[in-house]
Structure 1
Amino acid sequence: MLPAIDSLLTLALSSVLLSLAPGPDNIFVLTLSALYGRKSGFFVVLGLCTGLVVHTTLVAFGVAAIFQTSTTAFNGLKIIGAAYLLYLAWQAVKASQEDTSSKTAIPELGFSALYRRGIVMNLTNPKVSIFFLAFLPQFANPEAAAIAPQIFLFGFIFILATFIVFNFIALLSGSISHWFSRSTRAQSYLNKIAALVFFLLALSLIAPIFRQ
C-alpha cells in the first residue's frame, strides 16, 4: 500500500523548490557547467544524484543517525568535504594562471572525472544525510507500509526532482561555455570565479565547526 497521493505530490513540490534554492550542489553544477559545457554538467548532476542514492540508503537503514549523534563524525566528514573543495579551488587558480594565449586555460576533464566530482561533492556534505533524515520520514505513514521502502520511494522522488532541476541549471549555464571556450581571457576570469566559489563553499562547510 502506497502513501497517500497528496503526500507524494507535496513531497514532489517541496523537492523541486528545495532543488531551486541556492545551495552548494546547484552552485557546483552552475560553475562546472559554465566551465566545461552542458554535457559535462549532466555528468556532474549524475554524480550528485548518485550521492543522493547513498544518502537515501543511509537514512532508510538509520545509519545517518550516527551523524546526528556524533559531533566528531559529523565534523570529520565536513573537513574532508572542505579539503576537497579547496583542492578544486587550487586547481582552478592554477588553470587561471596558465598562459592565456594557449587553448588549455580550462583543463580538459573526462566525463568520468566530472561524475566522480559530483559523487564526492555530495557524499562529503553530511548536511545532506541530516536533511534527508529530518525531511523524508515526515512523509512516511507507518500504517501504509514498512518504513524503509517508503523512504526509498521518497528518496527516488527527491532525486528525480533534483535531476530535472539541476540539469535545467546545467543547460542554461552550459550554453555560455561555448563563448568562454573562444575567449582565453574569459577562461582565465571564469577559472578565478570558480576558485572563489569553491573556496566560499569550503568556508561555509567548515565555518560552523569554529563557532561551536
Structure 2
Amino acid sequence: MMLVEQSALLGVVSVALGMVLSPGPNMMYLVSRSTSQGRRAGIISLGGVATGFLVYLVAANLGLAVLFAAFPRLLTVIRIAGALYLLWLAWKTLKPGGVSVFTVQDIPADSPGRLFSMGLMTNLLNPKIAILYVSIIPQFIDLHKGNVLLQGIMLGVFQIVVALSVNLSIVLAAGAVAGFLSNRPIWLRAQRVAMGSLLGVLAIMLAVGKSVTTM
C-alpha cells in the first residue's frame, strides 16, 4: 500500500501548477533576471527560489504549523510583508516610465551570490508559499497511514518538482518572449499594465486577508 494516495499526489500537483502558473513574486523576479542578465542568471536565481522551497519544506514538517498556531501574528507579519512587496512590484511596473518584466534592460549585472540570495528571499517572503506548506499541503496527509513526517516530505517534494519544472521553463523562454515583445510596443505596454494591475489587486486581497491560494 502506498504511503501517499495517488489522489493526494494529484491534488498537490494540481495546486502547485495553479500557483506557479499565476503571476507572483517568484515569476516576476525570475523573468526580470533572465531578460536583463541572461539564462544563467535566471537559473542561479531559480537555485535561490529552490532553496526557499526546501526551507519551508523542512520547517513545515518540523513543526512550523505548530509555531504559527502558537504565534498567529507571525503568519500575519509574513502576509503583510508579502502584500507590501507585491505593491512595490506593482508600482514599479505601473509608474510613469515603468517597464514590463519582459523588457530587456541595460542594468548592472548582479553577482551570482546576490542573484541566489535575492531568489531565496523572494521565495521566503512569498506568503502564498507559507500558506501552501502550513495549511494546504497538510490537508492531503492521511493520519491513518501513519508516518506523517514522511508523507509531508513526499508531498512537498512533488510540489517542488512541479514548481521548479515550470519556473525553469519560464527562465528558458523569457528571452524569446522578450524578443517577441520588443518589436511590438503596444503588446509590451499592455502586458505591463495587465501585470502591474494584477499584482496590485493581489496585494490588496492579501492585505485584507482574502484567499491567496490562486495567487
Match of 2:213 in 1: none
After TM superposition, give the deviation of residue 79 of structure 1 in Å. 4.0
Spell out, residue by residue over 1:36-77, the C-alpha distance to the aligned partner (whole angstroms, 9 max, x if none).
222211122221121111112222123234446755322322
Task: Give 1:29-48 correspondences, 5 Å limit.
Answer: 29-48=30-49
Whether 1:132 and 2:99 are equivalent positions in the alignment is: no
| Matched AA of 2:139 | Q
1:34 partner letter: T
Distance 2:180 2:112 in 1: 20
CA distance in 2, matches of 1:85, 1:211: 14
How many angstroms apart in 1 are the aligned matches of 2:127 and 2:20?
A: 20
Q: Partners of 1:131 and 1:199 in 2: how far apart?
A: 24
Which residue of 187, 206, 209 corresponds with 2:207? Answer: 209
Is the counterpart of residue 51 in structure 1 residue 49 in structure 2? no
> Residue 42 of structure 1 aligns to which amino acid in structure 2?
I
2-structure distance, mates of 1:17, 1:45: 17
Query: Would the aligned equivalents of 1:26 and 1:169 in 2 still touch at CA under 8 Å?
Result: no
TM-score by length of 1: 0.69
Which residues in structure 2 correspond to 1:5-84 (within 5 Å)? Answer: 6-7=6-7, 9-11=9-11, 13-15=13-15, 17-28=17-28, 29-67=30-68, 70=71, 72-81=73-82
Distance 1:72 1:22, change over 3 A: same
Listed as ranges, the gaps of 5+ residues in structure 1 are 98-103
SS of the residue corresponding to residue 61 of structure 1 reads helix
Judged with a 3 Å threshold, the aligned counterparts in structure 2 of structure 1 residues 123 and 206 are, in CA distance, closer, same or farther, namely farther
Conserved? CA contact 1:12–1:161, under 8 Å: no
Which residue type is aligned with residue 64 of structure 2? V
- Residue 92 of structure 1 and its aligned partner are, at CA, apart by 9.2
Q: 1:203 to 1:76 in 2, by over 3 A?
A: farther
Task: Please tell me the root mean square deviation across aligned C-alpha atoms, in Å.
Answer: 4.0
Q: Which amino acid aligns with 1:7?
A: S
Inter-CA distance 202–32: structure 2 relative to 1 (3 Å threshold): farther
In the other structure, the counterpart of 1:106 is 107
Displacement of 1:141:
2.5
CA distance in 1, matches of 2:144, 2:153: 16
Compare 129-138 and 78-87 and name the one that shifted more.
78-87
Give the gaps of 5 or more residues in structure 2: 99-104, 211-215
Report the residue type matching 1:21 in the other structure: L
State the partner residue of 2:163. 162
Q: Secondary structure at the match of 2:145?
A: coil
CA distance in 2, matches of 1:34, 1:73: 34
Displacement after TM superposition at 1:149 (Å)? 1.5
Amino acid aligned to 1:209? A
Check 1:65–1:205 CA distance in 2 against 1; reply closer, same or farther (3 A cut). farther
Would you say the 8 A contact 2:64–2:134 is kept in 1? no
Q: Report the counterpart of residue 117 of structure 2 in structure 1.
A: 116
Q: How big is each residue's C-alpha offset from its partner over 1:122-169, in whole Å with a ceiling of 9 and x where there is no partner?
A: 111233222222222233223333101211111111101111110001
Distance 1:86 1:106, change over 3 A: farther
Match for residue 101 of structure 1? none
TM-score normalized by structure 2?
0.68
Conserved? CA contact 1:67–1:126, under 8 Å: no
Q: For the residues of structure 2 that align with 1:83 and 1:209, how far apart are their CA atoms?
A: 8
